[in-house]
């Protein structure tokens, strides 16, 4: 499989390679018909598939295809039951498959460090171990339907205020023990096929440009072979 992908990459022009990081529209990657590479459809939805059939927008103001609204991650984590999360993930994956969604953007696995964070309901816990175990369950369930989960937001995205410019300054021990543990469990036990990098900087470098985070830790230490999607 790796050889097949490398052969495709070798055949691509520089323009075609660049096109894969720009997007066909708000929710789809670009297709390359010449090489038989189809576009992938991404959808929000840790708690329910949100696919917009017509005009797409990131805030969800325009109408979406009807889908089930499931309990939030915060609610599910109160069960302390990864198997329950896996069952919910299976239902999410089933609906995603019916709606022809390829990548479901979730689960959210950030730490609850600030009670004012407007998206705490999307995250499991302030405890890295519990968050990681629950996320791994969700991922196994989602991906059992042939859909790719996309664990997010990697990493240190623990508040919404100024998250596109915020610099999370953290020492290496805290970084690994608190902020990365849940993601490590999600990757190693859940086998997530994709992961979403966060908007914020980490120790002065944007997460999606952070070599220590995305190469040293994610690729080399954890052995992640999947897709990194920017937020």
DSSP 3-state assignment of 162?
coil
Catalytic residue among 31, 127, 167, 231: 231
CA-CA distances (angstroms) from residue 134 to 57, 77, 80, 181? 29, 7, 8, 12
Rounded CA separation 216/205 (Å): 14
Residue 180, φ and ψ in degrees, nearest 5: -105, -20
Q: Is residue 78 a contact partner of residue 127, using CB atoms and an 8 Å limit?
A: no
Could you count the other beta carbons within 10 Å of the beta carbon of residue 69? Answer: 10
DSSP string, 55-112: S--TT--S-------PPPHHHHHTTT-HHHHHHHHHHHHHHHHHTT-SEEE--B----
Could you count the other beta carbons within 10 Å of the beta carbon of residue 164? Answer: 10
Rounded CA separation 82/8 (Å): 38
Q: Is-catalytic flag, 171?
A: no
- Residues annotated as catalytic (active site), given as ranges: 231
């Amino acid at each position: 499989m790796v050889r097949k992908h490398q052969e495709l990459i070798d055949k691509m022009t520089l323009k075609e390679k660049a096109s894969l990081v720009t997007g066909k529209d708000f929710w789809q990657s670009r297709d390359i018909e010449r090489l038989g590479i189809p576009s992938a459809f991404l959808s929000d939805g840790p708690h329910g598939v949100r696919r917009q059939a017509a005009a797409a927008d990131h805030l969800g103001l325009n109408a979406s295809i009807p889908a089930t609204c499931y309990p939030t991650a915060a609610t599910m984590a109160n069960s302390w039951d990864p198997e329950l999360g896996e069952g919910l993930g299976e239902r999410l994956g089933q609906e995603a498959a019916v709606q022809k969604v390829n990548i479901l953007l979730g689960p959210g696995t950030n730490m609850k460090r600030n009670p004012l964070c407007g998206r705490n309901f999307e995250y499991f816990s302030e405890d890295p171990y519990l968050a990681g175990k629950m996320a791994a369950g969700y991922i196994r369930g989602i991906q059992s339907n042939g859909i790719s989960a996309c664990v997010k937001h990697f990493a240190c995205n623990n508040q919404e205020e100024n998250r596109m410019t915020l610099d999370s300054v953290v020492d290496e021990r805290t970084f690994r023990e608190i902020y990365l543990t849940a993601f490590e469990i999600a990757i190693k036990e859940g086998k997530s096929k994709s992961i979403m990098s966060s908007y914020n900087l980490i120790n002065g470098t944007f997460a999606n440009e952070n070599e220590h985070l995305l190469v040293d830790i994610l690729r080399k230490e954890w052995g992640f072979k999947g897709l990194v999607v920017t937020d």
